[in-house]
Amino acid sequence: MAYEEIRMKSEASRCLLCHDAPCTQACEKKLEVANIIRSVRFENITGAARKLGEANPCMDCSAPCMAACNRGAIDQPIHIPEVFSEVNRKEISVPKEKVDLSVDSCGVHFENPFLLSSSVVGSNYEMVAKAFEMGWAGVAFKTIGLFTPNEVSPRFGALEKEDNPFIGFKNIEQISDHTLEENVSFLKRLKKEYPTKVIVASIMGQNEEEWTKLAKIMEEAGADMIECNFSCPQMVGEGLGSDVGTNLELVAKYTAATKRGTNLPVLAKMTPNITKMEEPAAVALEAGADGLAAINTIKSIMNVDLSNFGTAPNVEGKCSVGGYSGKAVKPIALRFINDMKKDERTKKAPISGMGGIESWKDGAEFLAMGCETLQVTTSVMQYGYRIIEDMLEGLSDYLSLSNMENVSELVGAALDNVIDAGELDRDTIEYPRFHHDSCVGCGRCYVSCFDGGHQAIIMDEKTKKPKMNPTKCVGCHLCKLVCPTGSISASGIRVLKKVKEEKAS
């Protein structure tokens, strides 16, 4: 990776993503400055290039956008001309035609795969209407029950790492705090005014009768699908949320009860607070579920404050176990989805995937693992509904550049490449390749390899650059992962372990 690209991404990541951004207002060339920076930040480079145009509009410009940048009040303004120059410098193929992003799942047509997941981001008419106007294909409305919970304050916490304040997120919210009557009115109005958008009614009952009743009410309100919330990890009271999802008998009973109340497609939303998600998934499908949704949040305790030993979110010095979400849970979500797609009982079931989707690329990974639709919450809470613009543009451009004509060609494309650990090639080694032209000699690879690897790297006394000792290197590629300048890559060359052993002897 060239230094220029590193700087471009680093600068874009510093952007505050302001509402009504002053940088855009200040631009004399009338560029969508904030949107271009946001596209870079969310890995939509083709979109950034499309908005910027072929010529560099920042030539001979005094950069009033930088003078207006709110980041300057904190430290230094975003170096916008430099970011734009790097976008222009990259040879980016920008597709002219958009790819059809529509998908059909469980017999329901979606104009694109992206939905708001069942949470506060889709909990009333005004919010969902705004999201629909911006391009979201649908909403899994915040879970509706026959009771209204008494919520706490505060109810959110975030996990920080270095300069990223939001790599993980915790909530201790329960289901909708609106009454049943209010929620029904929201759904009816949304369906009337946005008939082409998909409304998934998430429900939670406390017994079979309630699951059946809620399903019937949701169908009458105009919902297109029902999602059974068997997975919320922070409900108050037994027999609710993840207490259901980990109990096969209850999963079967409540799925069947839901089906009795509706002719709509039913999704069973799975909990990750279990070892084998495919077990309750299979039971739900056998009981009549038409598809699955996964994953819900993970039970967690976050951020112990060592000054008072409270945890986040701190409610008068106390807290409870809550649901963990955000970018950090994506690998866990993909693993569970893979498990369900490999199990004979569940592999044909449509899956609405969620858990850490922040960019179009995250969404594409879920699609490649077999999901048909995608649900998003945490990144909307941090960045707003506007992220849908880069999600749609980025996914369309990726499909176009990959010569795919529709989303269905991507669904499940990665499944065959996830195999049993015993089937992996264990007879060869792929050594890393060191690129001294871009190496700055920081020694991060040396430190990590010596202290956390196999002591296979030495620092050359003359060049002050790292060198590999092939007799010790096992090809773990830790060095590649820790290199801050991208100066270590995979070589693409595999050597038989026997050859290495012979040379060492």
Q: Which residues are catalytic?
A: 232
Question: Please, what is the angle between helix 180-193 and helix 125-134, to 10°?
Answer: 30
Look at residues 130, 25, 136 and name the one whose alpha carbon lies nearest to residue 390. 136
For residue 473, what are the CA distances in angstroms to 179, 454, 457, 485? 62, 7, 8, 21
C-alpha 312/C-alpha 500 separation (Å) is 51
Contact 367, 414 (CB under 8 A): no
Look at residues 135, 86, 128, 131 and name the one whose alpha carbon lies nearest to residue 110. 135
- Listed in sequence order, the residues at least 6 apart from 333 whose beta carbon sits closer than 8 Å to its beta carbon are 272, 294, 295, 353, 354, 355, 356, 366
- The tokens describing 342, both together, are 């490999």
Computed on alpha carbons and rounded to an integer, the radius of gyration of the chain in Å comes to 25
Number of neighbours of residue 436 by Cβ within 10 angstroms = 12
Peptide bond into 295 cis (omega under 30): yes
371-402 burial string, b = 16+ CB within 10 Å, else e? Answer: bbbbbbbbbbbbbebbbbbbbbbbbbbbbbee
Count of residues making up the chain: 505
